[in-house]
Amino acid sequence: MKKLLGLIALFFTLSLSAATLDGINFADKVSVDGKELVLNGIGIRKATILKIKVYYGALYLDSKTKDPAAFLSTTSPKQIVMHFVREVEAKKLRDAFNEGMEAANSNHASYKVMMDKFNSLIPDVVKNDQITINFLTDGVTVTAKGKTSEKVGNGEFSKALLNIWFTNPRDEQLKNGLLGK
């Protein structure tokens, strides 16, 4: 009887817990701009030819999908959480965001001022730091080192920035993980 009760308790604990990949936990649901979003998927960003793990990323959407076109075309809020597993200098992160923006958006030059402002919010990170980016109808916010920024950019910039992970991404495995594939 004790074993049965223990199994029932374990089942409920697991069903209420956050999603975990390699010991990194992400909430099943988050609230962004007054809307509840669900965890769509978790991926791992690896860099260099040595495939060094840099961060675990989680994508939150209003409903799960494996098709980026389904959510990139909507104005509903979205969120990416980046949980770093190594130290990374802000300059390297900013360069990566700029390269991603160029690869994902043919009109990337029109976002230069907004990218500069966005990049100014990206700090050096150490192991277990998180950067959370909220993609809103009228811009993006960044939470890093316990501080949430004011909105940067506009709706077009929000979509263009989110494209980094899904249109000509630097890491297909990360993209697939975020899409729950």
CB 145 within 8 A of CB 129: yes
How far is it, in rounded angstroms, from Cα 163 to Cα 103?
Answer: 9
Q: What is the pLDDT of residue 6?
A: 39
pLDDT in tens, 164-176: 999 988 899 999 9
- What are the residue boundaries of the structural domains of the chain, listed by start? 19-178
pLDDT in tens, 24-34: 999 999 999 99
How far is it, in rounded angstroms, from Cα 72 to Cα 52?
Answer: 28
Mean pLDDT to the nearest integer, 127-140: 98
CATH of 19-178, one of 3.40.50.300, 3.50.70.10, 3.40.50.620, 3.40.50.1220: 3.50.70.10
pLDDT in tens, 13-49: 344 457 888 889 999 999 999 999 999 999 999 988 8
Burial state string for 6-43 with b = 16 or more CB within 10 A and e = fewer than 16: eeeeeeeeeeeeeeebeebebeeebebeeeebebbbbb
pLDDT, averaged across the chain? 91
